[in-house]
């Protein structure tokens, strides 16, 4: 069992997506993935933007009960993730990376890496960096494809 996770939620804000991977494997990784997904499914409806949503996921992993899931040391409990927001009537997609590699965008003109800037730290490691990370917006047209 690994700690890969993903979810897509159609919210009043937009369609929101999370894709990620928890450090490690086995039951601890599965439990952390379940905690992140549960938090995402709840917060995706309420959070005004992706930065707030990422903060909610971070808070989930900072709780003592989630830290107890770490196999040896709570500092080893973290997950890389990418959050995306796809509006229903816009030519843009908004992406926030939390330690995740940059996505690829395939469009009629070719394929390109999307420069999400310096990624935020992985979830549960946000206390290591005081820089505010902001989501970035990219052009996204019908027929375009994303690979996270």
Structural domains in the chain, CATH included, are 2-147 (3.60.40.10)
pLDDT 10s digit of each residue in the chain, 148 long? Answer: 667 899 999 998 899 999 998 887 777 778 888 888 999 999 999 999 999 999 898 888 877 555 566 555 555 678 889 999 998 887 899 999 888 888 999 998 899 998 887 767 777 766 555 556 688 899 888 889 999 8
Extended strands (E) in the chain: 2-10, 15-25, 79-86, 92-98, 104-107, 110-113, 136-139, 145-147
Full-model pTM: 0.84
Count of CA atoms in the C-beta half-sphere (13 A) of 86: 13
């Amino acid at each position: 069992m690994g700690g890969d996770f993903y979810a897509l939620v159609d919210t009043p804000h937009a369609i929101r997506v999370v894709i990620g991977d928890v450090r490690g494997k086995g039951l601890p990784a599965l439990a952390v993935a379940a905690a992140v997904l549960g938090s995402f499914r709840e917060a995706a409806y309420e959070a005004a933007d992706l930065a707030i949503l990422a903060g909610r996921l971070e808070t989930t992993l900072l709780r003592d009960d989630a830290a107890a899931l770490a196999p040896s040391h709570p500092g080893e409990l973290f997950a890389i993730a990418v959050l995306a927001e796809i509006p229903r009537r816009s030519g843009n997609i908004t992406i926030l990376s939390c330690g995740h590699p940059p996505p690829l965008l395939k469009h009629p003109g070719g394929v390109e890496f999307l420069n999400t800037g310096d990624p935020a730290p992985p979830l549960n490691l946000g206390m290591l960096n005081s820089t505010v990370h902001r989501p970035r917006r990219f052009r996204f047209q019908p027929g375009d494809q994303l690979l996270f």
